[in-house]
Chains A and B, each alone.
Chain A
Amino acid sequence: MITRAPIAVIIFCAVIIQAVDKSNFKTCSQSGFCKRQRDHKPAESQYRALLDAVEIGPSAIKVHLVNKQNSAKLLLEVFALQDNTVRVKINDLEPNKLRYEIPVGDVLVQEPQQASLQVHSKDSSHMKLKVQDNTVILYASPFHMDFLSSDTPVMSLNSQGLLKYEQYRSKSKNEAAEDKPVDGVDENPGEEQEKEEENTAEEPDMWEETFKTHQDSKPYGPSSVGMDISFPGFEFVYGIPEHADDLALKSTKDTDPYRLYNLDVFEYELNNPMALYGSVPYMIAHNEEKSVGVFWQNAAETWIDIRSNTADRGMFSKLVDFVKGDDKIPQVDTHWFSESGIIDMFIMLGPQPKDVFRQYGLLTGTTPLPPLFALAYHQCRWNYNDEHDVASVDAGFDEHDIPVDVIWLDIEHTDGRRYFTWDAHKFPHSDEMIRNVSAKGRKMVTIVDPHIKKDSNYFICQQFQDRDLFIKNKDDSIYDGWCWPGSSYYPDFTDPKVREFWASKFHTDEYKGSTNDLHIWNDMNEPSVFNGPEVTMHKDAKHMNGWEHRDVHNVYGLYVHRATYEGIKLRGGNNHRPFVLSRAFYAGSQRYGAVWTGDNKADWTHLKISMPMLLTLNLVGLTQSGADVGGFFTNPEPELLTRWYQAASYQPFFRAHAHLDTRRREPWLQPPDHKQVTREAIRTRYRLLPYWYTVFQENEATGMPVMRPLWVEFPKEKETFRIEDTFMIGSSLLVRPVTDAGMTSVSVYLPGQDQVWYDRDTWQMKNGGQQVLVNVNLQKAKNMLSSQIPVFQRGGSIIPQKTRIRRSSILMADDPYTLIVALDKKNALSSFSWKTDFLSFISKRQQGHAKGDLYEDDYYSFRYKNGQYIKRRFTFANSKLSSSDIHSGGISMKSNAWIERVIVVGYAQHPSSVGLSTGSKQSDLSFDYDSERRVLTIRKPGININEDFTITVQ
């Protein structure tokens, strides 16, 4: 048993870097709707559900909600969806003006598949619905809803009465019309007084709002929607990125609410709820028994308040006659509100973490398996100056025998920040340059931002203007904002026509000087507008069909990302997997590639925060995510840079990047000792690429995160719920990066009472359920073993890896595998030698077990979608390692890769022989046994990876 207190102390004492100019960004009190919604305090809801007139369908019900004070009417729809998911939608019943809804297919992969819904009971006070194993109870008055997973209450909607729907109406304070409900229903004159209170007295921010020098004309007036969501029985909630904050979300009682509004924040501050570049309004609640999720599908500016409370015990006893002991039942209350749009919630009822991930994946999709190079090491800088510079960086990696897969070019490669062009002096032969890089299996990436230089001689600007594809001001003139190229226009990516046209520009005929080995980076797609309010676009700018920017802001970046992804996909004849990195994101962005945490800083605190930030992104499906290695701003000292490489080599998207004003910091420019450690960190990434690739494939298939908080793998272990300095890659590797200066040892919590762990450097075995101290002394870099960060392989797992580190990942495609078989506790004996003889006798019967998968394909194409891949399961049991085909379809593919070595760690006794059988053939294998470390190395089985085999250890 260990105490989590020290970790909590570290978390809350983290040094705050005062860098951001906070006055550039709104606080809640500076945002009209945030203030109005937040001022709405918990009370009995004014809404009543008209259960007598409920419409019941096979998988959905429709109910009218009436505001008791002003008779305003809303339409509530509840849909039962496949896989323990319920959708709750609240919209105007008879809208004065349509509210924005994100088109199906843009964030939701498709219209969610509905499931059957049974009405279990119904009277005028409530109705009880059954959705698979779950119960939904809808109470008429005051309107609220409870959700039960296998009879355990897990979620309530509007139990605090915070449902607040600002319906569109016309301006003019003194007209009687204004007092009438917008749906035109006659009101009872006697209720006028009360109604005034409910439908919000006029406030100055309602019809126009000014922030700094920027005016928001708000032609349609107030339109925000808000509601409370409670999680009875839960203490911990996660998700709702992007914030530079802890993994376990904090109470916002004494701060602003967590804000979701995609913003380009210069030198962002850590440990606070300010908005950053991306928004995913998706929250997961987890306790020892259950995991549930809620996705609030709304693209407008959104704020979320969080409070830790105690649940109403009555709810538990009344509903299910179930109370756990006498303890207080914890509860997390949350309050969500958005500036416009509708209330559209997806409630995922788990009940386990893996279920929630799958359920969310069904709705918004998962990360398509990245091409292998995307998972390897990326070298970026603002800027590699010219072709010569690129060639010398490319050569530098070879000279120092450090692998790299992608060399990146930032904005200076263009002709005056005109994307899709090249600086003719610095990059006169860009296609040749790319070919030279790709000759070693490497790729290049150029930046293409969504702001288009206003220049009638610039073909992109001209073509988009001719086709009328730019965002407009409210007076229908083209919206003109300031960004890198100066005065710029912004294509309206919400429009499918615009996306299609944009996509066509990536063809090598259009994007002159590019090749199919060039991939793309979308930056500044929040969108960033240097001279706009909060460095972004004016909310009253106009998009397709007259929607205001306010309605679509948070999803704009996703659309840019998507259009680019589709362009690269199209360029490769829909057969090559694209790689596109985006800074802005929304729910569903995972379908288009990678994201990163934006402009961080060369500071230990920023290295440390990258862990919770990336874990959160992984929880909400953005699995291909990373932080700039070394920190974007300022110069990292060698130790920080080295530690950053070590940490990032175990983060999903692994890219070094640096600001224009920083010193060069390619890995070989480090002092010799640090260079060695850095090189080893990068090479370790390549060694483990087969495992990474397999985990990413699992992610695509199941929605399981790639980088996982410990509680995802150990959901019943409360000690893990707050841990963010240690995490898992897949289910088999535990990683604890070093994020402080001068550390010679760090303590690591190894979860799992019955679990054993093996130090990946020494194969030393440790028992789970305890804190262990690991040597991480960087000064002893000559001894590579002690300079690594703590990484443990889980007992019971088998990890495939490759030991021949080539210049780039694709050059390793045919190379043989080494399988690391880490036995579980059954065979993992205590290290006291006096026991050995006795236990070796026991172990004959209690053999160690392990299993693991391997996924392989051609690493770059979509042919895997047609079954052209290999998927093997390795199982070690009863001293036999076997490999079986778990390919789900008929077609497979041929591989040149074979198995060169099997290492069984935690193997208790010296074997007498090792035999291999494949098909009908039998043969002996030579082996080496290290009795001190209990490591059995089986020499060269030599079987093709796609062959079934059994290796028997006697």
Chain B
Amino acid sequence: MLAHAVFVLLGRKMNWLYLSSFCLYFAVIGGEVKRPRGVAISKASLYDPSHDFPCFDGSSVIPFDHVNDDYCDCADGSDEPGTSACPNGSFHCTNAGYIPKYIPSSRVNDGICDCCDGTDEYSGKVTCANYCLELGRQHREEQEKKRALLIEGHQLYKEYCINGQEARQKKMERLEEIQKEKEDLEDRRNALEAAKVEAEIPESEAKQRHLDTWKAEKSRRKEEADMVKMAAAFEDLDSDKNEIITYQELQTHLEFDIDSNGEVSDEEAKEYLEEGSEVDFSTFSAKVWPHIKDIYKQPVTKTESQPDESNGQKSHEEEHGDEDGDGTGDENGEEIDDDEEETPNPEEYDVDEGDQEDDNDDEEGDDESHTPWKERFIDAKQARGDNEDRNHNEDDDDTKDMPEYNEETKALIEVADKARAAFNEVNDVYKELEKEINAINAFLSLDLGENNEFYSLKDSCYEYVDREYTYKLCPYNKCTQRDKRGGVETSLGNWGKWSEEKNKYDAMIFEKGQSCWNGPDRSVKVLLQCGLSNELIGASEPNKCEYEFKFQTPAVCRTLPLEIQPELHDEL
């Protein structure tokens, strides 16, 4: 009591208004240790009333009556543990019966009860009840529950670990087994492959010979047909039948109207006649025909009058089709093409000359010829892309109407077929093994936790339903959301990684879900907590399109509870 009297010093300059606070200068805890207000028992010895007080940070030494005098003298706030004077100070609540804690000094005497023992409010502004015992009781109950949960959960966790380990073990064993199997198969497969390749060489040579012969034949037939057409054209153009075609004769054919002004001028006509005014048959066939054969329009015949009428003068397209014997079906397509055409430019036609084997080709070629220049650049690019297809088609077409292989070739094919079948049989098995190896490797590369404890979650999905949506979590796979009123599932993210937090296995990250209007791709962070079952227990969207799931699982019940709760007071 003597000490108390010494401690309760009333500052000489103190005003009546705040005098009251100094009557509570020291709190007396449990009638035992005397220490300044707001000081933990562990620090009581640092406040020795018989000496000047050195600030903890050593910044200065102050008279002891400046401790807790409601004025901040120490830069570190250590002189005012029991008042709100220091901006960086803290106040210790003993909270007997519950957990002691430090609160910022600014919460002392602010009219709000922060400590359950009410010691932070002593100015009389508010009366705080001491509810530490009740809190302590609740706390112990909760701790007990938590403890039970942790014990039971940890049991399950261990099972998960075992399951995971076993699964992993099995996979590894299986991997070893099939890798060996694969190796065993390797030699046989290689031998069969070599045999196959060997059999295929004569086969393909024979086939090529056959094809070449057929191509030559086809080419000859085509030339013949062209000659027939050329002769007919000569006869047609030579309207006066004098075996000479004059430029005047050409002028009756409007297809030679280069500038599309409605008439074929002298210059235009002469240009086709190689700058001469007339040609005989041999000059026509050698020099003129190659240039005009795509322009020249056959006189209208009964069967082809329909498209011709609807399409003005350009009938050569149909001719082309006919040449290959399958033109009729594609006429419509060509007509559309024709509609887009500008006036044909004979010089451009040269580009296409001679290599147009089918209607597809014609289309491509016409596009290139007739589109305005700017667009042609783009079209040409596309056309180039299509070239592969076209070549492929040509090959196919090369075999069209091709006669059967001869017996020799047939025999070679049969041999090769057998070799192929033998190889394929083994190769299929081999591929299967390879696939399984890849699958196992993929599995083994999955981060299933320190002890493979997440294995048990791997192939399952879990749902959580709130007012509007059904959320789904499929660990190592994906997260989705579906409106309860219907509609399609929205991807919130695909399996990305474990979190980058202190314990990375506390959260799963799913990324690159459906992208948001005016925002990022959707993503989910799944927070894991220990529980006795696997259950999705919450889903929210704290930021636009960034979701947060809460998932409980025994897989994170890693630690057993500490046997004692040391921070909990057992006083009283």
Interface residues of A (CB under 8 A from B): 385, 401, 425, 439-441, 660-664, 803-807, 811, 814-816, 896, 898, 900-901, 916, 923, 925, 939-944
Check if A811 sits within 8 Å of B544, measured CB to CB: no
CA distance A401 to B102 in the complex (A): 13
Check if B542 sits within 8 Å of A664, measured CB to CB: yes
For B123, give the chain A residue with the smallest CB separation. A814
Ranked 3 nearest A-B pairs via Cβ: A811-B110, A940-B71, A663-B543
Check if A944 sits within 8 Å of B125, measured CB to CB: no
For B17, give the chain A residue with the smallest CB separation. A944
Given contacts A805-B87, A900-B71, A942-B13, contact A662 B107 (CB under 8 A): no
User: With an 8 A cutoff between CB atoms, is B70 at the interface?
Assistant: yes
A-B CB contact pairs (8 Å), 13 listed: A385-B540, A401-B106, A425-B467, A440-B112, A441-B112, A663-B543, A803-B87, A804-B85, A807-B110, A811-B110, A898-B15, A923-B13, A942-B13
For A401, give the chain B residue with the smallest CB separation. B104
For B109, give the chain A residue with the smallest CB separation. A814
Check if A660 sits within 8 Å of B544, measured CB to CB: yes
From B12, B69, B467, B519, contact of A923 by CB (8 A): B12
Instruction: Select the residue from B106, B519, B544 with max chain A CB neighbours within 10 A.
Output: B106
Q: How far is the CB of A919 from chain B (nearest CB, A)?
A: 12
Check if A807 sits within 8 Å of B106, measured CB to CB: yes
Check if B14 sits within 8 Å of A942, measured CB to CB: yes
For B467, give the chain A residue with the smallest CB separation. A425
CA distance A940 to B72 in the complex (A): 9
CA distance A814 to B111 in the complex (A): 10
Check if A943 sits within 8 Å of B15, measured CB to CB: yes
From B85, B125, B540, contact of A900 by CB (8 A): B85
From A401, A804, A939, contact of B84 by CB (8 A): A804
Given contacts A804-B84, A898-B15, contact A811 B112 (CB under 8 A): yes
Given contacts A661-B518, A804-B84, contact A896 B17 (CB under 8 A): yes
Given contacts A803-B87, A896-B17, A942-B14, contact A661 B544 (CB under 8 A): yes
CA distance A900 to B11 in the complex (A): 14
From B18, B104, B105, contact of A898 by CB (8 A): B18
For B108, give the chain A residue with the smallest CB separation. A804
* Chain B stretch 506-563: residues in CB contact (< 8 A) with chain A: 518-519, 540, 542-544, 546
Q: How far is the CB of A809 from chain B (nearest CB, A)?
A: 11
List the A side residues contacting B105 at CB < 8 Å. 804
CA distance A944 to B13 in the complex (A): 12
Check if B110 sits within 8 Å of A806, measured CB to CB: yes
Which interface class (under 10, 10 to 19, 20 to 34, 35 or more) fits B?
Answer: 20 to 34
From B18, B84, B112, contact of A942 by CB (8 A): B18
By secondary structure, the B interface counts as: loop
Check if B70 sits within 8 Å of A663, measured CB to CB: no
Check if A807 sits within 8 Å of B17, measured CB to CB: no
CA distance A214 to B14 in the complex (A): 74
List the B side residues contacting A441 at CB < 8 Å. 111-112
CA distance A451 to B95 in the complex (A): 53
Check if A944 sits within 8 Å of B71, measured CB to CB: no
Q: How far is the CB of B75 from chain A (nearest CB, A)?
A: 12
For B519, give the chain A residue with the smallest CB separation. A661
For B83, give the chain A residue with the smallest CB separation. A804
* Chain B stretch 14-63: residues in CB contact (< 8 A) with chain A: 14-15, 17-18
CA distance A776 to B341 in the complex (A): 69
Q: How far is the CB of A173 from chain B (nearest CB, A)?
A: 51
For B542, give the chain A residue with the smallest CB separation. A664
Instruction: Select the residue from A385, A439, A803 with max chain B CB neighbours within 10 A.
Output: A803
For B72, give the chain A residue with the smallest CB separation. A803
List the A side residues contacting B72 at CB < 8 Å. 803
Instruction: Select the residue from A441, A662, A811, A898 with max chain B CB neighbours within 10 A.
Output: A811
List the B side residues contacting A803 at CB < 8 Å. 72, 87
List the B side residues contacting A661 at CB < 8 Å. 518-519, 544
Query: Scoring B residues 105 to 140 as 1 if CB is less than 8 Å from chain A, else 0, what string do you get?
Result: 111001110000000000001000000000000000
List the A side residues contacting B15 at CB < 8 Å. 898, 942-944
List the A side residues contacting B543 at CB < 8 Å. 663-664
CA distance A435 to B125 in the complex (A): 19
Given contacts A811-B112, A815-B84, contact A940 B106 (CB under 8 A): no
From B11, B111, B518, contact of A811 by CB (8 A): B111
Check if A898 sits within 8 Å of B544, measured CB to CB: no
List the B side residues contacting A939 at CB < 8 Å. 71
Given contacts A425-B467, A661-B544, A923-B12, contact A804 B519 (CB under 8 A): no
List the A side residues contacting B12 at CB < 8 Å. 923
List the A side residues contacting B546 at CB < 8 Å. 663
CA distance A439 to B113 in the complex (A): 10
List the B side residues contacting A660 at CB < 8 Å. 544
Given contacts A662-B544, A811-B112, A900-B71, contact A804 B87 (CB under 8 A): yes
List the A side residues contacting B540 at CB < 8 Å. 385
Check if B13 sits within 8 Å of A807, measured CB to CB: no
Q: How far is the CB of B215 from chain A (nearest CB, A)?
A: 63
CA distance A553 to B523 in the complex (A): 46
Q: How far is the CB of B109 from chain A (nearest CB, A)?
A: 8
CA distance A102 to B15 in the complex (A): 56
CA distance A940 to B105 in the complex (A): 18
From B71, B125, B544, contact of A814 by CB (8 A): B125
List the A side residues contacting B125 at CB < 8 Å. 814
Q: How far is the CB of A660 from chain B (nearest CB, A)?
A: 7
Query: Scoring B residues 302 to 331 as 1 if CB is less than 8 Å from chain A, else 0, what string do you get?
Result: 000000000000000000000000000000
CA distance A816 to B15 in the complex (A): 13
Given contacts A923-B12, A925-B13, contact A807 B107 (CB under 8 A): yes
List the B side residues contacting A401 at CB < 8 Å. 104, 106
Given contacts A814-B125, A939-B71, A940-B13, contact A806 B106 (CB under 8 A): yes
List the A side residues contacting B14 at CB < 8 Å. 942
Check if A804 sits within 8 Å of B467, measured CB to CB: no
List the A side residues contacting B518 at CB < 8 Å. 661
Check if A898 sits within 8 Å of B71, measured CB to CB: no
For B544, give the chain A residue with the smallest CB separation. A661
List the A side residues contacting B104 at CB < 8 Å. 401
Q: How far is the CB of A870 from chain B (nearest CB, A)?
A: 14
Given contacts A900-B71, A942-B15, contact A807 B85 (CB under 8 A): no
Check if A898 sits within 8 Å of B17, measured CB to CB: yes
For A815, give the chain B residue with the smallest CB separation. B84
List the B side residues contacting A663 at CB < 8 Å. 543-544, 546
For A918, give the chain B residue with the smallest CB separation. B15
Given contacts A661-B544, A814-B125, A900-B71, contact A807 B18 (CB under 8 A): no
CA distance A664 to B540 in the complex (A): 14
* Chain B stretch 142-160: residues in CB contact (< 8 A) with chain A: none
Q: How far is the CB of B66 from chain A (nearest CB, A)?
A: 9
List the B side residues contacting A943 at CB < 8 Å. 15
List the A side residues contacting B13 at CB < 8 Å. 916, 923, 925, 940-942
* Chain B stretch 391-435: residues in CB contact (< 8 A) with chain A: none
12 additional contacts (CB under 8 A) given A807-B106, A923-B13: A440-B112, A441-B111, A663-B543, A664-B543, A803-B87, A804-B87, A804-B105, A805-B87, A898-B15, A900-B85, A940-B69, A943-B15
List the B side residues contacting A815 at CB < 8 Å. 84
Q: How far is the CB of A783 from chain B (nearest CB, A)?
A: 15
Q: How far is the CB of B288 from chain A (nearest CB, A)?
A: 61
Q: How far is the CB of A438 from chain B (nearest CB, A)?
A: 11
List the B side residues contacting A811 at CB < 8 Å. 110-112
From A900, A916, A944, contact of B70 by CB (8 A): A900
For B60, give the chain A residue with the smallest CB separation. A928
List the B side residues contacting A941 at CB < 8 Å. 13
Q: How far is the CB of B32 from chain A (nearest CB, A)?
A: 31
List the A side residues contacting B17 at CB < 8 Å. 896, 898, 944
List the B side residues contacting A440 at CB < 8 Å. 112
Query: Scoring B residues 65 to 88 as 1 if CB is less than 8 Å from chain A, else 0, what string do you get?
Result: 000011110000000000011010
Q: How far is the CB of A386 from chain B (nearest CB, A)?
A: 9
Check if A804 sits within 8 Å of B544, measured CB to CB: no
CA distance A901 to B125 in the complex (A): 23
